[in-house]
């Protein structure tokens, strides 16, 4: 019988990328594995394909099922882990697009769920610009960002599904713990 107080917490984890080899998906998957005793569903934005947002399309066709599905996924879980790809200093188009749709379906898109906000890139800034944009914007859509983590120089610091730099790995473990404690 489910007891609300001690049932296993559920989270979703996804990358703001549609790359099949997404480094952000690799990072968010690893972070989700560090969250012990939490039920994790790793999602892929390729499974949430939506047309390019336009107000005309919206008034003609309404909202795409896949955007509603992602809003519902957030509704059903206790927390969200996301790692955003940085394209030209901002969200990758695939993420911006589904976020725009989702914000029209549910203005409180992130529904007050605790969030671990992350980014990684091959460069030394580790997606600092996209993290700054998300930190400014997501709370306006009811994101409760409880921890953040940036992994610079992905190709140096990550190998075979893990962060290999000890300090960065410890930092991520701490951030995951902070996130877990907020669930
Ligand atoms: C169009 C484009 C723009 C990019 N702009 C940036 C950037 O502004 N900052 C950065 O750190 N990396 C940038 N990159 C490199 C990405 O960080 C890199 O492709 C990374 O793998 C993207 O994450 P993903 O693998 O999860 O999709 C850019 C890549 C592309 C294709």
Is 41 within the bounds of a domain?
yes
Is 100 within the bounds of a domain?
yes
Distance CA 147, CA 132 (A): 13
Tokens of 85: 């790809």
Q: What does each of the 183 residues of the chain score in pLDDT, given as a tens digit?
A: 445 567 899 999 999 999 999 999 999 999 999 999 999 999 999 999 999 999 999 999 999 999 999 999 999 999 999 999 999 999 999 999 999 999 999 999 999 999 999 999 999 999 999 999 999 999 999 999 999 999 999 999 999 999 999 999 999 999 999 999 999
Which domain, by its residues, includes 61? 9-182
Is 104 within the bounds of a domain?
yes
Is 3 within the bounds of a domain?
no
Give the CATH number of the domain where residue 106 resides. Answer: 3.40.50.360
List ligand 1's pocket residues with C-beta within 6 A.
15, 17, 19, 22-24, 85-89, 121-123, 125, 127
Count of structural domains within the chain:
1
User: Residue 49 forms beta bridges with which residues?
Assistant: none
Among protein residues, the one whose CA lies closest to atom 2 of ligand 1? 87
Is 178 within the bounds of a domain?
yes
Ligand 1 atom nearest to 85, measured from its CA: 23
Is 4 within the bounds of a domain?
no
Ligand 1 atom nearest to 122, measured from its CA: 17
Is 18 within the bounds of a domain?
yes
Tokens of 101: 């749709």
């Amino acid at each position: 019988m489910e007891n609300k107080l001690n049932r296993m917490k559920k989270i979703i984890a996804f990358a703001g990328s549609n790359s099949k080899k997404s480094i952000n998906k690799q990072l968010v998957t690893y972070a989700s594995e560090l969250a012990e005793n939490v039920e994790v569903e790793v999602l892929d934005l390729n499974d949430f394909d939506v047309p390019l947002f336009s107000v005309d399309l919206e008034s003609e066709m309404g909202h795409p099922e896949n955007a509603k599905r992602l809003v519902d996924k957030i509704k059903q879980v206790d927390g969200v882990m996301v790692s955003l790809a940085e394209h030209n200093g901002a969200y990758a188009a695939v993420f911006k697009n589904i976020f725009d749709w989702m914000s029209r379906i549910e203005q409180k898109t992130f529904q007050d769920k605790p969030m671990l906000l992350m980014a990684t890139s091959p460069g030394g800034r580790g997606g600092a610009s996209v993290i700054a944009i998300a930190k400014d914007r997501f709370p306006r859509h009811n994101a409760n960002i409880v921890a953040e983590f940036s992994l610079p120089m992905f190709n140096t610091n990550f190998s075979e599904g893990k962060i290999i730099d000890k300090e960065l790995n410890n930092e991520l473990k701490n951030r995951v713990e902070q996130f877990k404690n907020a669930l």
